[in-house]
Amino acid sequence: MSTDFDAAFENLPDDGEALDYTQYTDTPEGFRSGFVSFVGRPNTGKSTLTNALVGHKIAITADQPETTRHPIRGLVHREDAQVIVVDTPGLHRPRTLLGERLNEVVKDTYADVDVIGLTIPADEKIGPGDKWILENVRKVAPKTPIIGIVTKLDKASKDQVGAQLLALHQLLTEENPDAVVIPVSSKEGVQLDELIDVIVDHLPEGPKFYPDDHITDEQQEKRIAELIREAALAGLKDELPHSVAVEVDEMLPSQTREGVLDVHAVLYLERPGQKRIIEGKDGRRFTRIVGTARKEIIQLLGQNVYLDLRIKVLKNWQSDPKSLGRLGF
């Protein structure tokens, strides 16, 4: 993979001192490093798998499809390898300008990684959508190794899992007779080490791109915004989840409460009627969103937090170029 070594460090925290590159390049002989990304239909367990491999919650999860909206990097550290897992939005047939932009980001990501994992749930048969995704991945990454991953073992019987493994193997071996297929359960931690072994086998030899204590290069404000959006998505149905976006305005030490961080954020919706759904009866649902998000933010930051969350309507933001740019898409 033709990754610019210096560029891999541009998102590391700046502590005011020059980085000592030698601390990351002093690696043992035969050390492997590189990038892997999971591809699949929305809601096939890609983000849950990413979190399980990294050992930390770096990507939000929800029951709704298309939860992930931008690539997130997580680190898996081993004595013999460093694996950078890139969680991406699901590749899908777009219905909005946002969907089109997300697909372009996904394709750019696949073109730059060393290994791609095709995720198929154990309890859902392989369909035209999965084949469409595989075809599109091959267009942008024709030579990148693809590993078959059957996810959600905990939701299927042994017979279902066996049939799915065979079906996925047949799909991948049409173009690569040596394709590897592996079943995993992120929820129960089944075969995760074995999956990392397979990924590492496909990575090139190279140096460490990040220090050993690094978990993700995701900016703190983005992680907080995503935790708020995750809380807002809980229990939502139909189209409303896609209309939810969150932006952190500012984070400041409280002027009145010692040791408290004030987090000011905005939850954007597309139509005035959606505000009533988010608020719920007597505002109870919104209160629950703030409480849930605050707990997650406290856990992330390790300090007490006051969350000031406001709701604003940004009309049809998913299809408006100016609004998308404002929200970072």
Does 235 appear as a known binding residue?
A: no
Does 88 appear as a known binding residue?
A: yes
Cα diameter, the chain: 66
State the Cα–Cα distance between residues 201 and 261, nearest whole angstrom.
44
Does 173 appear as a known binding residue?
A: no
Does 153 appear as a known binding residue?
A: yes
- What integer is the mean pLDDT of 7-17? 42
Does 45 appear as a known binding residue?
A: yes
C-alpha to C-alpha distances, 301 to 247, 296, 320, nearest whole angstrom: 17, 9, 33
The SS3 call for residue 308 is: strand
Q: What is the pLDDT of residue 239?
A: 62
Q: What is the pLDDT of residue 236?
A: 82
Tell me: pLDDT of 17 over 60.
no
Query: For domain 220-327, which architecture applies?
Result: 2-Layer Sandwich (3.30)
Q: What is the pLDDT of residues 268-299, one digit of tens each?
A: 999 999 999 999 999 999 999 999 999 999 99
Phi, psi of 181 (to 5 degrees): -125, 135
Domain chopping of the chain, boundaries: 28-202, 220-327
Other CB atoms within 10 Å distance of the CB of residue 309? 19
Q: What is the pLDDT of residue 66?
A: 66
Whether 71 contacts 109, CB under 8 Å: yes
Q: Which fold has domain 28-202?
A: Rossmann fold (3.40.50)
Q: What is the pLDDT of residue 35?
A: 96
Whether 293 contacts 325, CB under 8 Å: no
Does 16 appear as a known binding residue?
A: no
Does 48 appear as a known binding residue?
A: no
Q: What is the pLDDT of residue 22?
A: 41
Q: What is the pLDDT of residues 129-183, one digit of tens each?
A: 899 989 989 998 999 999 999 999 999 999 999 999 999 999 999 888 889 999 9
- What integer is the mean pLDDT of 124-131? 92
Does 304 appear as a known binding residue?
A: no
User: DSSP secondary structure string, 82-133?
Assistant: EEEEEE-PPP---SSHHHHHHHHHHHHHHHH-SEEEEEEETTS---HHHHHH
Higher pLDDT, 256 or 19: 256
Tokens 């078959």, residue?
148
Domains 28-202 and 220-327 share a fold: no
Does 154 appear as a known binding residue?
A: yes
Strands 115-121 and 32-39, sheet pairing: parallel
Does 4 appear as a known binding residue?
A: no
Q: How many residues in total does the chain contain?
A: 329
